[in-house]
Amino acid sequence: MDKVVLIPVPSEHAILTCRYCGVKIFFARTPAMRDMPLEVRPVLVYRVPPLGPGEKTHRCVPVEETAFLPHWGRCPGAEKARREDG
């Protein structure tokens, strides 16, 4: 199972604008000590438990945590940013 790292909601001074697409982002440090760009808008997270005996349909259970999407998954300039960074 992946390790979950809780990230506090960013303060206003920590919010930046992506130079490739103009979306508001902030950076958080990963467990590997690398900075990862995250989208400012939090998302609702659902857990999908395994099917029980006789169940045929999965249930979605909301998780009571704030989560943020990695920006590189949605940014049209992500590949260019990776080439410049690497």
Closest CA to 21 of 85, 82, 72, 67: 72
The answer to whether the Cα torsion of 3, 36, 48, 58 is positive or negative is: negative
Q: What is the pLDDT of residue 6?
A: 55
pTM of the model as a whole: 0.67
Q: What is the pLDDT of residue 16?
A: 92
Q: Which residues in the chain show pLDDT less than 50? A: 1-2
In angstroms, the Cα distances linking 3 to 28, 29, 32, 52 are 15, 14, 12, 25
* pLDDT tens track for 3-14: 555 556 667 668
